[in-house]
Structure 1
Amino acid sequence: MLKLFTTGFWERIARLILRNKITILVLIILATIFLSTQWKYMRFTYTEANLLPDHHEVNKTYNTFLDIFGEEGNLIVLGIKDSTFFTVDKLNAWNKLSESFKSSSEVDAVISIKDLQKLIKNDSLKKFTLKPFISDSLTTSQQVDTLQTELFENYPFYDNFLFNKKTKTIRTAIYMNKDVVNTPARKDFVMNKLIPKIETFEKETGLDVHISGMPYVRTLNAQNIVDEIGLFVGAALLVTSLIFFFFFRSFRATFISLIVVCIGVMWTLGLLGLLKYEITVLTALIPPLIIVIGIPNCIFLINKYQQEVKSHGNKVKSLQRVITKVGNATLMTNITTASGFGTFILTESKLLKEFGIVASLSIIAIFILCLLIIPILYTFLPFPKERHLEHLNKRWIGAFVGWMEQMVRHRRISIYMSAVVLLAVSIIGIYQIKISGSLLEDMPQKAPFFKDIEFFEQEFDGIMPLELMVDTQRKKGVMKLSTLKRIDELEEAIIDIPELSRPISIVSLVKYSKQAYYNGNPKYYQLPTSQESSFIMSYAKNSSNDTDLLESFVDSTGRYARITTFMKDIGTDKMQGIEDQLQTKIDKLFPDDRYKVVMTGKALVFQKGTTYLVKNLAISLTLAILLIALFMAYMFRSFKMILISLIPNLLPLLITAGLMGYLGVPIKPSTILVFSIAFGISVDDTIHFLAKYRQELQANNWKIKRSVYGALRETGVSMFYTSTVLFFGFSVFMISSFGGTVALGGLVSVTLLFAMLSNLLLLPSLLLSLERNIANKEVLKKPTINIIPEDNDKTEDEDEDEEKL
C-alpha cells in the first residue's frame, strides 16, 4: 500500500546509498558544519520554567500583577548570623560591602542596616521626615549597642525584613534592575561582581555570608544545567561505548558508532540554536538521550552486517541487506520512539512542546545518520576479522536466551502469576504517589546555594515570593481605613500559617506612621483609630513626595495594594491547603461587590504549572498509547494483536509508577516524562519480536510454537544488547546533582529493564496461550508494512552493486 515500506523501495534506497557514498558523506559534513554554526544562537534560560500556557488564567493574573507593580522576583538577599557581628569593624565592613553594590548598573536599590530610615514627625511642617539610623561610619561600641537596641526593640516595621530580632540575624536586600533581571546581564552581575566581592569580604572578616533570592538561585541553577550537559554527554559516550565494545570486542565498530552519535549530538545542539530555543533542565537532557538511543541503532545495523558476513562472506551483499532488512525495522522503532517524545508537542506547555519538537527531530536525525554512515564507512573498511565475529557465538548469551525459552515453554503459569502479583503490588503503590510542585526540589541539594536557601527558610520563613493583590475597584480606595483593617486581618491569617513569613504591605507602613506620630514609641505600632486617622494620614500625604515609601505597596492610582509574603519550599498538597485557607479568609473579609483579591507570585505559578502538567501527562501518555496502537493495527490489521502488543508495555509503566509510590518519588515536571519516554522506547522490542514472529510463521508453515521459539531465539540477543545499553545509558542521568534528573534516569532504566523481560517472557507466553485466536493467516500473512523483508537469494541489484563497489 505504501511504497515507503516495500522491499523494493528499500532495495532502491540501498543502491542509492552505496552508489553515492562520497556525495552523501559530503552532504552530511556540510549539514554538520551548517548546524555547528547555529550553536551560537543557543540560549540558556534566565527565567523559571513557565509550565502553563500563556492564555492560562493563572498566567494572566500574574502578568496583570507585573503590569501594575513590576517584576517581583528581582530580590537578592545577603544574610549573616554571627555572635561577633555587632562590632565596630565588622558592622562597618558589612555596610561598606552593601554600599559597593549601589554603583552597579544592574542594581536598582540596596537596603542594608546603614540604609534604614527612622520615620520622624515634624510638627512644624506637619509631615514625616526620614532620618538614617547610621549617619556615618560607626566609631564606638556604644554606638553599636544603641543601634542594636533601636533595631531589635523599637522598630518592628523592619523585623523579618532586614533582621530577625529573635536570632539576631541580619540581612541586606539587593533589588536588581527589572530590565536586566531576566537577561544575561544577571549572570554577569552574580558571577563576576556579587560572588567575588562576598568571597573577599569573608576572607577579610571571617564572617560566613549566606546568599539567596530568586535571581541568584536561578543563575547558579542555570550554570549547573550548563555544566551537566558536558558531563552527561561525556558519561553517556563513555558508558555506551564501553558496553558496545564489551559486546562486539571491536575498536573499529565502537569508533564508527561514536562518530555517528557525536554527529547526532552536534545536530541536536544545532537544532536548538536554529529554532532559537532556550536550554532548560529538559532540553539539556536531549544530547545524551540521542547517544543512548543512537547506540542501539548502531548495534542493530552492525550486528546484522556481521551476521550476514559470517553467513555468506560477501561484504557488499551484507551491506545491501543491512539496509534492506534492518533499515525498515529500525525506521519503525525510531518512529515509535519519536512518537513517545512527539506527544509532548500536542501539549500547551511551551517547555514540553520545545522538548518534544527537538527530541523527536533528533531521533529521526540519528536514525538517518546511522543508516547512511555505518554502511558507507564499512565499504571503505577491510573485511571483518574472525575475532570481530566471535561475539556472535557467545555461550553466555545463548544460555540467557535458552533460559527464557525454557521459562516460556514450561513455566508460563509462573510468568502470569508473577505479572499479576507485580500488577497488584504496583497498583497499591500507585495510590501512594504524591504530586510535588516545589520550585526548589529538583535543584542540587548538595550545592552551597541550596544550603543558603535552607538558612533563609529557617531564619526568615522562605525566599519564594507569594503575592496577594487587592483591587478596591475605585481610585484611592486602598487608603480608606476600612480597607486597611481588612488587609490587616488578612495579614494576621497569613502570620498564623507557619509556612509563610510575616507579610509586609501598606498596613505595615501605616502602622509605622502611627508609631512615628507618637514619637517612635513601639507600643503604637498599630493601625490608627478613625479619630487618629485624619491627623496621621495628613502627615503621610504631606510626606509622600519626600519618602516615596508608598510606591512599593500601592499603585500610582491608589486602587491596588499588594501584600508580599515569602513561602517555604512546600509541595503542591500543602500549597493547595494554604490557598484554600487564605481564600476562605479573603471571601469572608472582602465582599465580591467591592473588592477583588487574587493570589499570585512565582511560587504559586510554578505550583499551578505542576498540577497542569500532571493532567497533561495523562493526555500525552494516552496519545502515545493510541498512536502506537494505531501503528500496530496498521501493521498487523488485528485488534487482538494490539492488545497482545500493549500488555507487555503497559505493565512496566505500572510497575514503575508503583515504585514511585513506594520510594516516595513524587510526580513532578521532571518525572512525568518517564512514562511517555519509556513507552516509546520499550515498544520497539515488541515491534521487533512480532515482526520476526510473523516471518517465522510463514517460514514454519504457521506452526505457532516453533515460530514463537524461533522469534525468541532470533530477537533475544539483540533485545538483550540494546536493553543493556539503554539501561546503563539512562543510568548516566543518576550522576546528576538535580533530584528530578536522577529520578528520571533511574526510573526510565528500571522501566526499560522490566520492558525487556516483559517482551521476552510475557509477550511470547501470551502468543502461545492465545495461539488459536491470534495466529490467523488472513491477518498476519500480508501485513500492511513489511518490517523485516523475507530472506531471498542474491538479487540482480546486489550483483550490480558488487561490480560497482
Structure 2
Amino acid sequence: MNNKNSNGFAHRYSQWVIRWRWPIVILTIALAISAGSGIKNIAFEADYRVFFSDDNPQLQAFNALQRTYTKVDNILFTLAPHHDIDVFTPSTLAAVEQVTEQAWLLPFALRVDSISNFQHTEAEEDDLIVEDLVIDALNLDQAALDHIKAVALSEPALHKRLVANKGGVTGINITFQLPGKEMDEVPVAVSAARALAAEIEANYPIDVHLTGMVMMDNAFMESSIHDMSSLVPIMYLVIIIITFFLVRSFSATIGTVIIIVMSVITAMGLAGWLGVKLTPPSASAPTIIMTLVVADSIHILVTLLALMRSGTEKRAAIAESLRINLSPIFLTSITTAIGFLSLNFSDSPPFHDLGNITAIGVMAAFVYSVTFLPAFLAIMPLKVSQRGDRMTQAMDHLASVVIKRRKPILWSSIIVSLIILSFIPRIELNDDFVAYFDTSTEYRQAVDFTTAHLTGNYLLQYSLPAGSSNGVSDPEFLAELDAFTQWLRIQPEVKHVSTISDTFKRLNKNLHGDDNAWYKLPESRELAAQYLLLYELSLPYGLDLNNQLNVDKSSTQVIATLDNMTSIQLRDIARRGEQWLAKNTRNSHAIGVGPGIMFAYISERNITSMLGGTFVAVILISFIIMFALRSFKIGMLSLIPNLLPAGLAFGIWGLMVGQVNMAVSMVAGMSLGIVVDDTVHFLSKYLRARREQGMDAEAAVRHAFSSVGVAIVMTSVILVAGFMVLAQSTFGLNSQMALLTGIAIVMAIIADLLLLPALLMRLDTKKSTAKTDQQTIIKSSPQGDTT
C-alpha cells in the first residue's frame, strides 16, 4: 500500500470513528467485558516444575528418580528453642514429638522423619532392638537425655540433617504425596502446616521456620498473588499521576486509564479462556501491559493536543491525530507483539505465557487506542494546557544541539558504547532458586535461617545401579557406595550425605554386640541381605526404606545436602560426582539430579533457545520496518538503535552487578519489541518530511524532533516508571528482568534522540526530489505533524 492510499484510508477511518463515536464506545466496552469474563477461569500454578519444558533433560532425569524412590516434595519444620542451649530438653523434645505425631495427619503427608521417631538400633544380648529414639519426652531423666543427645549428634543419618552441629536446632521433615489433580493441593498442605507451626509456637518457647519444596511451590504462588495485588494498584497510580502531569488533561487521562483497564482485562480474560495458569513470570503481564498500553495513547494525545493548541477544532484535531498516528501505532504494536511472542522460544513455559498474554494485551491496546480513545475524546470535554509549547521548545533546542554537534555525538556514542559493551563478558549466570525470593518473604527468611543453623536447602541426588536384583547387598557394590559417600562428605560444599551404607555399618555393629570395631560394611552378600531383611521387618509403617532403595533392591539413592552456592558451583560439584563414579565404579555410573540442578542449567538452556527467538524477532521486525518505511537502508540503519540498548543494558549490568539469572535470556527479545516503537515513530516522521516536504536530512531531523520528540520522552518516562514498579517484585526473575529492561529503555531514548539523528545526517545524504516551500520546512507544526 503506497503512502497516498494509506493516508486516504486513515482519513476515511478517522472520520468514521468520529461519526460513530457512541456505538464505538459502547461496543468496545462490551467487547472488553465479554473477553474479560474469562478471568474467572484463571488459576495459580503452585509447582516449581512448570519452569521446565517436558523435554528438559534435567527434569526428565529428576522425574525418573522420583518414580523410583520416595518423592522429595517436603516441608521441613525447623525448631529453634528461645533460651535452651540445645534441643535435648524435655520441653523441646516434647514439641518435636507433638509435631512428629500431628504431621502424619497433615493433608497428603506420606512420611515423617525426626529425631524422635528415628529408628535407633542397638543390641540386647542376641536381639536387635529397633525403636523410636525419643519416647515420652516429658518424663525423661538427664541420663536418658544425654544418651539421646549422644546418639543424635553421632548418627550420620541425623547429624547436620535433622539436628544441628551442636544440637541447638532440630528439624522434622514431612514428605508429601501430592496427587496433582487439584490446584489447591499445595495451599491446603501449607495452610495445615502453618497452623501446626502456630500451635507449637503458642505452646512452647520455640520459633518454627518452614522450608522445603512444598513451601517453595507455595512461595511461587504467593509471589504471583502478591505482585498482582500490590504492584498493579501501584502501577495504576503511577500511570495516572505521570499521564496527567504530561498531558495536563483530565479527559485524556481518564481515557488512557480506561484503555489500560480494557486491555488488561481483555488479555487476562482471554488467557483464562485459553486455560493459562498463572506463575510469577506470567503474573507480571498486567503490569507490563499497563506500561506498554500508555505509549499508543500518548502518541495520539500529544499530536491531538498540539493541534488544538495551534487552533484546530477538537473533533478535527482528533481525526487528524488519528490519521497521522494510525500507521505508526499499528506498526509499533505489531513489532512489540513480535518481541514478546519471541518468548515462546524460551525453554521455560511460564515465559511463553508471559509473552503470549502481553502480545494479546498489546494488540488489544492498539484496537482500543484507535477506536475507543478517539471516540471517547470526541464525546468528552477536552481542555488544552499551553505547557506543551515549553516541552516542544525544549525538543527544538535539543534538535539544534544534536544537529550542530552531530559529529562529536556520533563518535562519542560509538566510543562509549564500545566501552560499555566490553563489560558484557563479566556477566555470570547464576540461577539460585532461593534467591528468586526477596529477603522480605517468609520462605526466604526461613531458608536463610535453616541454612545458617541446621542444614542446606539444595539436594544433589544420585541413583546408583547395583547391577542386579538385591544387588545392593553385594560387598563390592557396598564398598563402591561407601567410597562415594566418603568422597562426597569431604567436599567443601556438602553438609550432609544420606546413604544406605551407613545403615549397613550400624547394623553390623549392633549385631556384633555394639562393638565399635565392627562399624564397617558386612563382608558377605548373604550377611548383608540378612541384616537388611531383619531391619526392614522391624521398621514401623511409613518409615520403610523406599526413600533409599528401589523395589527390587537393584539400585540405591544417595542424597547430598549442599550449602548455599552459585549455579556454577552446583553444576561443578554435580559434574565432579559424575566423573568420580565413572572413574571409580564398575557399573554405578549416574548423573546428579535435583531441583537445584534443574535451575542451575536453566539459564544456559534458555539463552540457547532464546538466541533463536531473538534472531527470528530481529528478522521479522527489520523486514516489517523496511516494508513499512519503504527503505532498505533506513531499515538496516534502524537495527543500531533497536539492538544497541539491550547490549548496553547488559554491559552496564556486567559492570555494576555481574550476576544474572535466566531473566537475561528474555530481555533481548522483550526490549527489542519495546524500544523499536520510538525508533519507528522517529523514522516515520523523518521520512515523511524527506519524501513529502522535500526536506534535507538536517531539516527532517529537526522536523522529527518537533513532531514526535515530546511523545518519545513521555512514553519512555512511563515505560521506565512501569518497569521500575515491576522491579519492586518480591520475585527475583521479575525484578531482574524489569531492571534490565528499564535500563535498556533509558539507553534506547538516548540512542533515538542522539545517536539515530547523528547517523541519519551522516548516512542519509541523498537529496530529496520533492518540491516544497522552504518556509514550510522551517515552520513545521510542533508535535502536530499534519502532513
Give the TM-score of the pair, scaled to structure 2.
Answer: 0.92
CA-CA distance at 1:542 after TM superposition: 3.9
**Alignment pair present for 1:426 and 2:420:** yes
Match of 1:146 in 2: 146
Match of 2:189 in 1: 189
Match of 2:526 in 1: 534
Match of 1:161 in 2: 161
Tell me the secondary structure at the aligned position of residue 550 of structure 1: coil
**Worse-matched range after superposition: 362-371 or 699-708:** 699-708
Match of 2:92 in 1: 90
Q: CA 1:37/1:534 → structure 2, altered by over 3 Å: closer, same or farther?
A: same
**Alignment pair present for 1:279 and 2:273:** no
CA-CA distance at 1:772 after TM superposition: 2.5
**Alignment pair present for 1:571 and 2:566:** yes
Q: How does 1:546-565 map to 2 (within 5 A)?
A: 546-547=538-539, 549-565=544-560
Q: How does 1:701-716 map to 2 (within 5 A)?
A: 701-716=694-709
Q: How does 1:240-259 map to 2 (within 5 A)?
A: 240-259=239-258
Match of 1:641 in 2: 634
Q: CA 1:535/1:616 → structure 2, altered by over 3 Å: closer, same or farther?
A: closer
**Is 1:128–1:539's contact at 8 Å kept on the other side of the alignment?**
no
Q: How does 1:262-341 map to 2 (within 5 A)?
A: 262-341=261-340
Q: How does 1:355-754 map to 2 (within 5 A)?
A: 355-382=354-381, 384-385=382-383, 388-393=384-389, 395=390, 397-522=391-516, 524-530=518-524, 534-547=526-539, 549-591=544-586, 594-754=587-747
Q: CA 1:399/1:99 → structure 2, altered by over 3 Å: closer, same or farther?
A: same
Q: CA 1:758/1:575 → structure 2, altered by over 3 Å: closer, same or farther?
A: same
Q: Which amino acid aligns with 2:503?
A: L
Q: CA 1:244/1:585 → structure 2, altered by over 3 Å: closer, same or farther?
A: same
Q: Which amino acid aligns with 1:161?
A: R
Q: CA 1:774/1:457 → structure 2, altered by over 3 Å: closer, same or farther?
A: farther
CA-CA distance at 1:4 after TM superposition: 13
**Worse-matched range after superposition: 508-517 or 179-188:** 179-188
Distance (Å, rounded) in 1 between the aligned partners of 2:268 and 2:438: 24
Tell me the secondary structure at the aligned position of residue 460 of structure 2: strand
Consecutive unaligned residues in structure 2, runs of 5 or more: 771-782
Q: Which amino acid aligns with 2:554?
A: R
Give the TM-score of the pair, scaled to structure 1.
Answer: 0.90
What are the superposed Cα offsets for residues 695-746 of structure 1, whole Å, 9 maximum, x if unpaired?
1113442423222221222221111111111121211123223333333223
Distance (Å, rounded) in 2 between the aligned partners of 1:719 and 1:110: 60
Q: Which amino acid aligns with 1:689?
A: F
Q: CA 1:74/1:774 → structure 2, altered by over 3 Å: closer, same or farther?
A: farther
Work out the number of aligned pairs and report it: 771
Q: CA 1:137/1:762 → structure 2, altered by over 3 Å: closer, same or farther?
A: closer
Tell me the secondary structure at the aligned position of residue 495 of structure 2: coil
What are the superposed Cα offsets for residues 757-777 of structure 1, whole Å, 9 maximum, x if unpaired?
211111111111123259698
**Is 1:734–1:741's contact at 8 Å kept on the other side of the alignment?**
yes
**Worse-matched range after superposition: 38-47 or 467-476:** 467-476
**Is 2:87–2:170's contact at 8 Å kept on the other side of the alignment?**
no
Q: CA 1:405/1:446 → structure 2, altered by over 3 Å: closer, same or farther?
A: same
Distance (Å, rounded) in 2 between the aligned partners of 1:189 and 1:475: 36
**Alignment pair present for 1:131 and 2:116:** no
Distance (Å, rounded) in 2 between the aligned partners of 1:195 and 1:4: 68
**Is 1:515–1:522's contact at 8 Å kept on the other side of the alignment?**
yes
**Is 2:499–2:559's contact at 8 Å kept on the other side of the alignment?**
yes
CA-CA distance at 1:567 after TM superposition: 2.6
Q: Which amino acid aligns with 2:252?
A: A
Distance (Å, rounded) in 2 between the aligned partners of 1:140 and 1:643: 81
**Aligned-CA RMSD value:** 2.8
Consecutive unaligned residues in structure 1, runs of 5 or more: 778-787, 793-805
**Is 2:426–2:658's contact at 8 Å kept on the other side of the alignment?**
no
**Is 1:652–1:754's contact at 8 Å kept on the other side of the alignment?**
yes
CA-CA distance at 1:12 after TM superposition: 4.2
CA-CA distance at 1:590 after TM superposition: 2.7
Q: CA 1:39/1:33 → structure 2, altered by over 3 Å: closer, same or farther?
A: same
Match of 1:102 in 2: 104
CA-CA distance at 1:445 after TM superposition: 1.7
Distance (Å, rounded) in 1 between the aligned partners of 2:44 and 2:711: 38
Tell me the secondary structure at the aligned position of residue 79 of structure 1: strand
CA-CA distance at 1:443 after TM superposition: 0.8
Moved beyond 6 Å, runs of 4+: 2-5, 774-777
Tell me the secondary structure at the aligned position of residue 408 of structure 1: helix
CA-CA distance at 1:789 after TM superposition: 12
CA-CA distance at 1:154 after TM superposition: 5.4
**Is 1:467–1:600's contact at 8 Å kept on the other side of the alignment?**
yes
Q: CA 1:96/1:21 → structure 2, altered by over 3 Å: closer, same or farther?
A: same
Match of 2:235 in 1: 236
**Is 1:73–1:465's contact at 8 Å kept on the other side of the alignment?**
no
Tell me the secondary structure at the aligned position of residue 726 of structure 1: helix
Distance (Å, rounded) in 1 between the aligned partners of 2:176 and 2:466: 29
Match of 1:173 in 2: 173
Tell me the secondary structure at the aligned position of residue 768 of structure 1: helix
Q: Which amino acid aligns with 2:513?
A: N
CA-CA distance at 1:16 after TM superposition: 4.3
Q: CA 1:728/1:714 → structure 2, altered by over 3 Å: closer, same or farther?
A: same
**Worse-matched range after superposition: 582-591 or 637-646:** 637-646
**Is 1:154–1:522's contact at 8 Å kept on the other side of the alignment?**
no
**Worse-matched range after superposition: 231-240 or 142-151:** 142-151
**Is 2:320–2:786's contact at 8 Å kept on the other side of the alignment?**
no
Match of 1:761 in 2: 754
